[in-house]
Amino acid sequence: MARDKRNIDKYTSAAQAEANILAALRKWKADHRDAARSLSTLGYAAFPDYDFRAPQGAAFSVARIVRGMEQRGLLRYHCDDWRRGYYLVNG
């Protein structure tokens, strides 16, 4: 059984992925914790032309990039009983 090779000829730099994430969060007006977006949503936004088999793949593909953005103060993580995800710190 041959494995399906997805996204084999595609490349997106980390800088472009960050720009895609920031643009998507601004478009969604996700600048407060009530509008936080999941890691998988950010993965799909960071790599818009990619084909992920499952949302976990999208989340895994962007986890390191988002962690770096959080450490630099661009994003903040929020988790409560109703929602969890990331939002822009300074809109």
Q: Sketch the domain layout of the chain as residue ranges.
A: 14-88
Give how far the C-alpha of residue 45 lies from the chain's centroid of Cα atoms, to the nearest Å: 6
Radius of gyration of the chain (CA): 14
Query: What mean pLDDT is predicted for residues 18-37?
Result: 97
Please give the Cα distance from 85 to 50 (Å, whole number).
Answer: 21
Q: What is the per-residue pLDDT for 91? A: 58
Question: What is this structure's pTM?
Answer: 0.88
Residue 32 has pLDDT above 70, yes or no: yes
Q: What is the per-residue pLDDT for 53? A: 87
Query: What mean pLDDT is predicted for residues 36-40?
Result: 97
Residue 87 has pLDDT above 80, yes or no: yes
